[in-house]
């Protein structure tokens, strides 16, 4: 059974701090790893990492995929209160699992002013 | 439309009643997915539609759950004889699709329907 584990489960920081969120996976026939930000109900897409794109950056956010270690990190620099949210990691596989994402339990990030 | 839309946004129902949840995917997205998110937990895959192919129903938790999709448009998720453990946020997502084995596309989520079974 495909499995995704995120750590830490929760994190409290102050504005301006840098945070690193972790995601590890055990998936048969890995195809992609995705990061989402969830503030209320709808997860908002951040990044997708694949074998052909193992590093992505957008503003203060960046993410790296380590296929050897079966893991990924999401970095947020100079955090702001608006970064407070649940960050979800999900993995897409091929074969009979094609199409569906397996999600981790999420990391709750709280940024204090 | 501009994004994935879902209705209703909230639904409170009595145990034993049937409910129907609706999802309108992004125009042009041929793949549509349903997930469930219980309080404090990650998303659980329920079902996946792609064009006219048979849906992947492997995540449906029981035969009380069913879903339909008309062509490449609206989908409805039906839960019959609701139980308290069905209380959750039901999220719909859609994506492009370029064939099994083709490149992967990110899934875009709707705002969800919060279902409360009393």
The pLDDT assigned to A103 comes to 94
Mean pLDDT of chain A: 93
Across the interface, whether the CB atoms of A101 and B107 are under 8 A apart is answered yes
The secondary structure of A59-112 as a DSSP string is TTEEEEEETTTTEEEEEE-S--GGG-EEEEEEEEE-GGGTTPEEE---EEEEEE
Q: Which residue has the tokens 């995120």?
A: A6
Comparing alpha-carbon positions, the chain A residue that sits nearest to B105 is A48
pLDDT tens per residue, range A22-37: 999 998 888 899 999 9
Assigned token pair, A81: 């209160």
* pLDDT of A54: 87
In degrees to the nearest 10, what's the CA dihedral of A80, B40, B29, B23?
A: -120
Residues 6+ apart with CB under 8 A from B63: none
pLDDT per residue as tens digits for the range A35-79: 999 998 789 999 999 887 789 999 999 999 998 899 999 999 999
A100 within 8 A of A50, measured Cβ to Cβ: no
Q: Does the beta-carbon distance from B91 to A41 stay under 8 Å? A: yes
Nearest by CB: B109 against A4, A43, A50? A43
A8 touches chain B (CB under 8 A): no
Whether residue B48 and residue A42 make contact (CB cut-off 8 A), yes or no, is: no
Q: Please report the pLDDT score of residue A93 as a whole number.
A: 84
User: Any chain B CB within 8 A of the CB of A68?
Assistant: no
Are A48 and B106 an interchain contact pair (Cβ–Cβ within 8 Å)?
Answer: yes
Q: What is the model's pLDDT at position A29?
A: 85
B18-61 per-position pLDDT tens digit: 999 999 999 989 899 999 999 888 899 999 998 888 888 999 99
Binding-site residues on chain B for chain A (CB distance < 8 A): 4, 31, 33, 35, 41-45, 48, 50, 56, 58-59, 89, 91, 97, 100-101, 103-104, 106-112, 114
CA angle B34, B49, A29 (to 5 degrees): 85
Least CB-CB distance to A41: which of B100, B107, B112?
B112
C-alpha distances out from residue B113 to A55, B91, B99, Å: 33, 7, 29
pLDDT of residue B40: 82
Please report residues of B whose CB lies closer than 8 A to that of A86.
Answer: none
């Amino acid at each position: 059974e495909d499995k995704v584990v995120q750590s830490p489960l929760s994190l409290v920081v102050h504005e301006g701090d840098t945070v690193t969120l972790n995601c590890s996976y055990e998936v048969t026939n890995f195809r992609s790893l995705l990061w989402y930000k969830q503030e209320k109900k709808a997860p908002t897409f951040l990044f997708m990492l694949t074998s052909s794109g193992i590093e992505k950056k957008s503003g203060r956010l960046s993410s790296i995929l380590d296929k050897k270690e079966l893991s990924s990190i999401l970095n947020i620099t100079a955090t702001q209160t608006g970064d407070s949210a649940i960050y979800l990691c999900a993995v897409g596989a091929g074969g009979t699992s094609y199409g569906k994402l397996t999600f981790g339990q999420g990391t709750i990030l709280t940024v204090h002013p | 439309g501009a994004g994935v839309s879902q209705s209703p946004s909230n639904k409170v129902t009595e145990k034993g009643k049937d409910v129907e949840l609706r999802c309108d995917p992004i125009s042009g997205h041929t793949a549509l997915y349903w997930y469930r998110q219980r309080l404090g937990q990650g998303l659980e895959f329920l079902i996946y539609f792609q064009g006219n192919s048979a849906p992947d129903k492997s995540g449906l938790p029981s035969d009380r759950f069913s879903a339909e999709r008309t062509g490449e448009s609206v989908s409805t998720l039906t839960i019959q004889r609701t139980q308290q453990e069905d209380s959750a946020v039901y999220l719909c997502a859609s994506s492009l699709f370029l064939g099994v084995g083709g490149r992967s596309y990110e899934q875009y989520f709707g705002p969800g329907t919060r279902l409360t079974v009393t």
